[in-house]
Amino acid sequence: FEISDQKVTESCPSNIALIKYWGKYETQIPANPSISYTLNLCKTNTELEFVANEPFSVQTFLAGKEELKFAGKIDKYFRNIEQYLPWILKGKYIIKTENTFPHSSGIASSASGFGAIAKCLMALDETFVGKVNDDTSLRKASFLARLGSGSACRSLYDGMVVWGETKEVAESSDLFAVRYPNEEIHPIFRSFNDWVLLIHEGEKSVSSTVGHGLMNTNPYAERRFQEAHENFAILKTILKEGNMTAFIKLVEHEALTLHAMMMMSEPAFILMKTGTLAVINKIWEFRKETSLPLFFTLDAGANVHLLFPSIKEEDQIKEFIIKELVQHTQNNGVVKDVMRF
């Protein structure tokens, strides 16, 4: 292959898991399969400049500001994936990245960030090594993104996306993510709102790397991994039949299980805040009173993802969120997204 100076720009969305990935083995192999919704509006845009035949170095800018910590991570990541991209250490990089959502909002910027970088790398690979077909290229981007941040591999596809081998999904793999087949998804689940309540904007007290690691000694871990497999089988039927009540039950259970695992770790940690619990209780009260399908999921943080389908009563749900829930957030923050596929 022949390398040359290149500048590429790519964009990648974030995602929110419904069945959670929590716990992993060496080389970023998930302990259980996970499935997510790709967010449409929460994206990272990345410009990657490659200066060929310079000593290997990485410089990164986040929203115009130089970021040394991020550069260190990318440096390590590039060294790690040299076996898959043999040209990668043969030049220097200037990477400029910006998110379309507030930084440290708890929306997975590592997922969209590594997704966008993996896409940039595949664009370079195609110029240096030659074009493969689009499916192969996407699959390799997902494979590479996974090695940056596990959940990032699910951000390469739209709609519902599966990572981790499960007998419920053909071609599913621990090494890259695959689309969950659209024809297996009832229309009610294909147009969904995800409003993120920004409960707490500070740094997380425990990183997800440390959190995954603590599953190695968690006495409940094996049961949890098994449960994720069981939940896949249940979810498959739910998605097909359009059973909203069962969907809500499963998704909330997954979110609470993720945080329960954190509380059961040794040492234990808690990422929810008072506002998180207040919001959850308000959602449950609202559902009891109105029977409307507003429910939540959580990432590894205090913020609450409010999920609700696009239905005729959605204005009533939105009004409730703005009047009753936004008061529990810092700076009255809510990031609105809608997934349609």
Which CB, 258 or 307, lies closer to ligand PMV? 258
Which region among 49-57, 82-90, 147-155, 284-292 touches ligand PMV (by CB under 6 A)?
147-155
Question: Judged by CB under 6 A, does residue 14 bind ligand PMV?
Answer: no
Site string for ligand PMV, 300-319 (x = CB under 6 A): x-------------------
Site string for ligand PMV, 241-270 (x = CB under 6 A): -----------------x------------
Output the smallest distance, CB 51 to ligand PMV, in A. Answer: 30
Question: Judged by CB under 6 A, does residue 110 bind ligand PMV?
Answer: yes
Which CB, 4 or 209, lies closer to ligand PMV? 209
Q: Using the rule CB under 6 A, which residue among 14, 20, 107, 235 binds ligand PMV? A: 20
Which CB, 17 or 124, lies closer to ligand PMV? 17
Question: Judged by CB under 6 A, does residue 208 bind ligand PMV?
Answer: yes
H/E/C letters for each residue in the chain?
CCCCCEEEEEEEEEEEEEECCCCEEHHHEECCCEEEEEEEEEEEEEEEEEEECCCCEEEEEECCEECHHHHHHHHHHHHHCCCCCCCCCCEEEEEEEEECCCCCCCCCHHHHHHHHHHHHHHHHHHHHCCCCCHHHHHHHHHHHHHHHCHHHHHHHCCCEEEECCCCCCCCCCCCCEEECCHHHCCHHHCEEEEEEECCCCCCCCCCHHHHHHHHHHCCCHHHHHHHHHHHHHHHHHHHHHCCHHHHHHHHHHHHHHHHHHHHCCCCCCCCCCHHHHHHHHHHHHHHHHHCCCCEEEECCCCCEEEEEECCCCHHHHHHHHHHHHHHHCHHHCEEEEEEEC
Q: Using the rule CB under 6 A, which residue among 105, 151, 155, 329 binds ligand PMV? A: 151
Interaction residues for ligand PMV, span 29-48 (CB under 6 A)? 34
Which CB, 147 or 321, lies closer to ligand PMV? 147
Question: Judged by CB under 6 A, does residue 150 bind ligand PMV?
Answer: yes
Question: Judged by CB under 6 A, does residue 296 bind ligand PMV?
Answer: no
Output the smallest distance, CB 239 to ligand PMV, in A. Answer: 17
Question: Judged by CB under 6 A, does residue 21 bind ligand PMV?
Answer: yes
Helices 221-241 and 244-263 cross at an angle (nearest 10°) of: 160
In the complex, the residues that contact ligand PMV under the rule CB under 6 A are 17, 20-22, 34, 108, 110, 149-151, 208, 212, 258, 299-300
